[in-house]
Structure 1
Amino acid sequence: MRRTNWLAALLIAPLLLLILGSFLVPVGLTLFRAVADREVAVALPDTRAVLAGWDGQGLPPEVAFAAVARELAAVLEARRIGDVAQRMNFERTGLRTLLLRTARAGDRLRAPYAESLVALDARWGQRDAWLMLQRAGGPFTSLYLLRAMDFTRGPDGAVSQVAIEERLFQTLFLRTLWVSLLVTAICVLLAYPVAYTIARLRAPWSSVALTLVLIPFWSSVLVRTTAWFVLLQREGPVNGALVGLGLLDAPAQILGTRLAVVLALVHVLLPFAILPMHSVMTRLDATYLRAAASLGANGVQRFLRVWLPLSLPGVAAGGAMVFLLAVGMYTAPALVGGDRDQMVTWFIANFMTRDVNWGMAAALSAYLLAMSGAVIALTRILTGGTVQAGARA
C-alpha cells in the first residue's frame, strides 16, 4: 500500500509543481505588490533611516535635509529616480516635480540644507511633504488598497474618501459585478434547455449537437469578439437587418454600449455553462423519472420535482464557471464596450502596461479575487441545501 502511495505521489508531483510555479507563486507575488512599499527604502536609504527616528513634530533635523539632497542627486545620476518619483507622486500630485527639481539642483545646494532646500522649493518647509516621505519608507503600505476603494490617507494618517471627481473604483467594481451576474444569469437560462435537449437525444444526434456546442472553441476569444465588433457597427449586418425589418428607422449605436458587451460575453461564455450541465444531466438515473411517473406524476411534475433538483449541481458549476470567467474578461469589454462599460480587468491592464503602477494593479486584482470568492461562497451557501438535497435524491 505504501509503495502505491509513493507511486501516486510521484505521478502527481509534476502537476503540483506546475500549479505551484505557474499559478500560486505568481499570484502570491502579485498580491504581495499590493502592500509592498520599497521604492523610497531602496532609492533613499539614509533619508528613510533619519526619518524613521523623527517624531513628526515640526520639521525634521538638518541631517534629513542633507540626506535627501545628496541621495536624490545620486539616484538621478544613476537614472533610478523614476520609481521613487512615481511612488511619491501617486501619494500626492506634484511631489514628482518636487523630487526631480531637487535632484537636478543637487550640485547647487549647500549647507545648511534646510535653508537651501526651502529656498529651492517652499514645499520642503512644509511638514506634510516630510510626513508622506516618512510614511513611504515601507516596508508595507495601505496606499494602494485604499486607493483601489476610492480612499486616501492624509499626511496625518487619517483615512478619508478622495474627491468626488476622482472617485472611480467603487463604481467600477459594482459595474463589473452587475455585468458578470447578468451575463451569468443569461447564460444559465439559455444553457439549461440546450443541455437538457442534448442529454435527452439519442446517439448519434447527441454527439452531433455536442460538437456544435464545441465549435466556438475552435477559434480564439479574440476572433469571436472581433466578429461582434464587425457585426454591431452602424453599417454592420445587425443594424442592416433591423432597418430592413422596419424595427429601426436609422442605424442605432450598438457598438460601444453595455448591450454590446453583454452580447459578446454571452456568446463567448455560453459553452462554459452548457458543458457542466450536460455532464451532470447525462449521468442522471432515468429510474427516478420512471418511478415518479409510476406514482402518478405528470411531465411537469417529474421535471420540477425530480430532474431539476438532480441537475442543480450542474447548474451551479456552470454558473460559477461563467461568473469567474466574466469577472476576469478583458477582451470583450475592451473591443466592443465604451468608456463607461470597461471592467476591472481593463484598469488592471492599464496600470500594468501604461502607468507601470504594479501596486494599483495588484490591489485591484486582490479586490477582484476577494469579490469573486465572496460571490461564489455566497452562492454555495444559498444553493447548498438545495443542491445537496438534489444530489441525495
Structure 2
Amino acid sequence: MEQVSTNNNNQSEGLAQGEDEIPLKLKLKRAERMRKYRAMALIAPLFLFILGVFAIPIAIMMWRAIDNPEVVDNLPQTAIELSNWDGESTPTTALTTAFASDLVKAYEDKTASTVAKRLNYDVSGMRSLVTRTARKFNSTQPAMATMDDFIKADKRWADLRYWQALKRASSSLTPFYVLNAFDMKINDEGQITSVPEGQAIYTNIFWRTMWIAGVVTVGSLLIGFPIAYLLANTSSKVSNLLMFCVLLPFWTSLLVRTSAWVVLLQKNGVVNSTLINLGLINEPMTLLFARPGVYIAFLHLLVPFVVLPLYSVMTSISPAYMRAAESLGAHPAIAFVRVYLPQTLPGIGAGGILAFILAIGYYITPALIGGPQDQMLSYFIANHANSTLNWGLASALGMVLLVTTMILFSIYNRLTGASGVKMG
C-alpha cells in the first residue's frame, strides 16, 4: 500500500511539473513579445517624426514633379477628346465642342486661370489666350463650337501649336517639369529635344552650384584641418577656448551672420578699410554682390561643420603612431603625411561631404551677398515655390538636388564607410 501511494505521489508530482513547464514557456514567449512591443513603442515617436517631417514631404515633392492635374481635372471632356486626336490634323468638332463646354464651366468655377497658368508654362501667351476665349464663350454660350468659332474668339487658335500644347498637358502625369529642370522639352512631334540656347539656364545653374559648393568645401577643409589639429593636440585649457570660438557662430542666426557680411564687405566697409589702412590694396575691392563675397560668407558658415567631424576623428588617433614613425627615422613632415593624415581621411570625408551638401542647399547667402551670376539652384527652387508658384518645376529642381546629394553620399559611403567616423 505504501508503495502504491508513493507511485501515485510521484505521478502527481510529474504531472504538476509538466503542467508548470507549459505555462513557463508561454510566459517566456509573452515576456519576449512584450519586450519587443516596448522597444517598438520607444522607437515609434522617432519613426513617426522622420516619416512626418522627412519621408512624406520628400515623397510629396517627388510626386509634384510629375503630377499634372490642371487640364484633366478642370477640362475632363477635353482631355478625353484630346487622347483621340492625332495632334497633326485640324481639331475635330467633337474636340472643339468639348473644349468650349469645359472652358465655360471652368470660367464659372473660377478654375480657367489655373488651366491657363499651366498651359503658359509650355507655350508663352496661352494664359491670355485661354482666359480670353473662356470669357467670350461664357458670354455667347455656343451649343456646338467649331474651329471657326475659336478663331473668331482669337486668331491664335488657327496655329496648331496651341492645340498641341493642350494635348501635351492633357495627361495626369507629365515629364514636363523634370525635362525642364534639365533644359529639355517635348516638341510638337512628341520628341525630347533641348530648349533653345537662350532659354537654357538650369544646366548652367546646376554646374555653377556644384562649382561654388566645391570651392567652398575645399576652402573649408584647408581652414578647418589646422584648427581641428590644434584642438586635438593642445592643452585642455586652450582646446576649450578654441572650441568655444568654433561653436560661437552656431549661437547666432544664419540670417544675422549673412547680413553682417553685407556690412563688412561693402566698398567702404570694415574689410576694405582695413586692407587699405594696412597698405595691401590701393582702392576698394568689389566683394559685395560678387563671387568673392559669396565664398567668404560661405566659409564663415561652413568651417565649423568641417572642424567638428575632423576633431572627433583626430582625438581617436594615438600620438604613439607619430612618435613611432619619428623614432624609426621618418622626418616629422613625412610621418605626418604618411602616418597621421591617412587616419584622418574619414573625418575629411565626413566634413567635406557635410559642407558640400549644406553649400548646395543654402540660398540666403548668395541671395543677399551674391550678384545675378552667383545665384545657385536653391535660389530658383525658392523663387518658383514662393514667387512664381510653379511648384512642379520647384519640385523637379529639388529632386535634382536630392538625387545629387544621394549620389554624393553613396560615393562617400563606398569610399570611407559610414562607420569610419568615430565619436571620440
**TM tier, shorter chain?**
over 0.9
Unaligned runs of 5+ in 1: none
Which residue among 263, 275, 280 is the counterpart of 1:242?
A: 275
**After superposition, where does 1:196-211 map in structure 2 within 5 Å?**
196-211=229-244
- Rg: which structure is higher? 2
Structure 2 Cα separation of the partners of residues 347 and 250 of structure 1: 34
Which residue among 366, 373, 376 is the counterpart of 1:343?
A: 376
Residue 49 of structure 1: CA displacement?
1.4
Would you say the 8 A contact 1:109–1:117 is kept in 2? no
* 1:119 and 2:156 are equivalent in the alignment: no
> Which residue does the alignment assign to 2:105?
74
Residue 103 of structure 1: CA displacement?
0.6
> Which residue does the alignment assign to 2:24?
none
Residue 110 of structure 1: CA displacement?
2.9
Residue 235 of structure 1: CA displacement?
1.5
**After superposition, where does 1:31-110 map in structure 2 within 5 Å?**
31-106=62-137, 107-108=139-140, 110=142
Cα deviation 1:29-53 (Å, max 9, x = unaligned): 0121111111111111111112122
> Which residue does the alignment assign to 2:5?
none
Structure 1 Cα separation of the partners of residues 273 and 324 of structure 2: 52
Residue 274 of structure 1: CA displacement?
0.1
Would you say the 8 A contact 1:36–1:138 is kept in 2? no
Q: How many residues align?
A: 388
* 1:144 and 2:140 are equivalent in the alignment: no
Would you say the 8 A contact 1:288–1:306 is kept in 2? yes
> Which residue does the alignment assign to 2:10?
none
Q: Which amino acid aligns with 1:108?
A: T
Residue 294 of structure 1: CA displacement?
4.1
Cα deviation 1:293-328 (Å, max 9, x = unaligned): 443334223322221111111111011110000000
Would you say the 8 A contact 1:51–1:134 is kept in 2? yes
Name the stretch that deviates more: 89-98 or 302-311.
302-311
Structure 2 Cα separation of the partners of residues 5 and 208 of structure 1: 45
State the SS of the aligned residue for 2:283: coil
Q: Which amino acid aligns with 1:113?
A: A
Which residue among 252, 260, 275 is the counterpart of 2:285?
A: 252
Cα deviation 1:101-153 (Å, max 9, x = unaligned): 11110122535411211222233333332222122112111111111111121
**After superposition, where does 1:300-339 map in structure 2 within 5 Å?**
300-339=333-372
> Which residue does the alignment assign to 1:9?
40
Residue 66 of structure 1: CA displacement?
1.5
Structure 2 Cα separation of the partners of residues 193 and 287 of structure 1: 20
Change (3 A) 1:305 1:246: closer
Residue 291 of structure 1: CA displacement?
3.5
Structure 2 Cα separation of the partners of residues 111 and 189 of structure 1: 74
Residue 5 of structure 1: CA displacement?
4.2
State the SS of the aligned residue for 1:58: coil
Structure 1 Cα separation of the partners of residues 109 and 357 of structure 2: 44
State the SS of the aligned residue for 1:160: strand
Q: Which amino acid aligns with 2:348?
A: V
Structure 2 Cα separation of the partners of residues 104 and 316 of structure 1: 60
> Which residue does the alignment assign to 1:285?
318
Change (3 A) 1:376 1:243: same
> Which residue does the alignment assign to 2:55?
24
Name the stretch that deviates more: 139-148 or 271-280.
139-148
Which residue among 173, 186, 190 is the counterpart of 2:206?
A: 173
Cα deviation 1:58-109 (Å, max 9, x = unaligned): 1232122112112212222222222211110111001112101111101225
Change (3 A) 1:300 1:4: farther
Would you say the 8 A contact 1:59–1:130 is kept in 2? no
Name the stretch that deviates more: 121-130 or 57-66.
121-130
State the SS of the aligned residue for 2:344: helix
TM-score, length-scaled by structure 2:
0.86
Structure 2 Cα separation of the partners of residues 225 and 56 of structure 1: 52
Structure 2 Cα separation of the partners of residues 211 and 4 of structure 1: 42
* 1:373 and 2:416 are equivalent in the alignment: no
Structure 1 Cα separation of the partners of residues 199 and 85 of structure 2: 32
Structure 1 Cα separation of the partners of residues 157 and 58 of structure 2: 39
Unaligned runs of 5+ in 2: 1-31
State the SS of the aligned residue for 1:113: coil
Would you say the 8 A contact 1:59–1:126 is kept in 2? no
State the SS of the aligned residue for 2:352: helix
Structure 1 Cα separation of the partners of residues 84 and 153 of structure 2: 25
Name the stretch that deviates more: 312-321 or 54-63.
54-63
Structure 2 Cα separation of the partners of residues 8 and 259 of structure 1: 52
> Which residue does the alignment assign to 2:23?
none
Q: Which amino acid aligns with 2:382?
A: A
Runs of 4+ in 1 over 6 A off after TM superposition: none
Change (3 A) 1:250 1:302: closer
Would you say the 8 A contact 2:104–2:141 is kept in 1? no
Residue 226 of structure 1: CA displacement?
0.6
